[in-house]
Amino acid sequence: MVALFIRNLVFTILQPGIVAGLIPYWILGNEANALFVQQLLPPGLHTSGTLLFVIGFVIMSWCIISFAVQGRGTLSPVDPTKRLVVAGLYKFSRNPMYVGVTLILIGEAIFFQSVELWIYSLVVFITFNSFAMLVEEPRLRRDFGDEYKRYCERVRRWI
């Protein structure tokens, strides 16, 4: 169980940490530092962005925990779940973790009022969609067969 926790922590830092943290920080550059120094409590649109970020972070975290506890694996394709996770948020979306990360990115784009982050968010979502359809879904069909097929029949890919 400790090894699974450590693997999930590492993959969380490597994957969503880079996609939703490091790369947006690089895109913003000094703009991010200046904004945090100038405004301690973000008003207006910044509040909306913060709210979306927090909702996305909670969704992503819930999914990572579900993968570990129910699926006995991680979010990484190199260390996937051993069981198909269909409970919790996965009752409503086949890809709630991607939804969560996308909400984090949209929250950042709103918070920082950054066109570049909006474009990046769109590119990431298109990448998530392509990866889900071309890589993950075929692997899940192969690994879980009819169980995954029935799951796809009752749960939408996104929302």
pLDDT at 38: 55
pLDDT at 156: 97
Contacts of 131 (CB under 8 A, 6+ apart): none
82-89 mean pLDDT:
95
- Per-residue pLDDT band for 83 (boundaries 50, 70, 90) equals very high
- Three-class SS state of 80: coil
* pTM summary value: 0.88
Percent with pLDDT over 90 in the chain: 61
pLDDT at 32: 66
Separation CA 44–CA 13 (nearest Å)? 30
- Three-class SS state of 81: coil
Question: Tens digits of per-residue pLDDT, 22-59?
Answer: 899 899 887 666 665 455 545 677 889 999 999 999 99
Residue 136 has pLDDT above 90, yes or no: yes
72-94 mean pLDDT:
89
Structural tokens at position 57? 């972070």
CB atoms within 10 A of CB 2: 6
Contacts of 60 (CB under 8 A, 6+ apart): 16, 20, 97, 100, 101, 104
- Per-residue pLDDT band for 7 (boundaries 50, 70, 90) equals confident
- Per-residue pLDDT band for 79 (boundaries 50, 70, 90) equals confident
120-136 mean pLDDT:
96
CB atoms within 10 A of CB 138: 10
pLDDT at 14: 74
6-33 mean pLDDT:
82
pLDDT at 29: 83
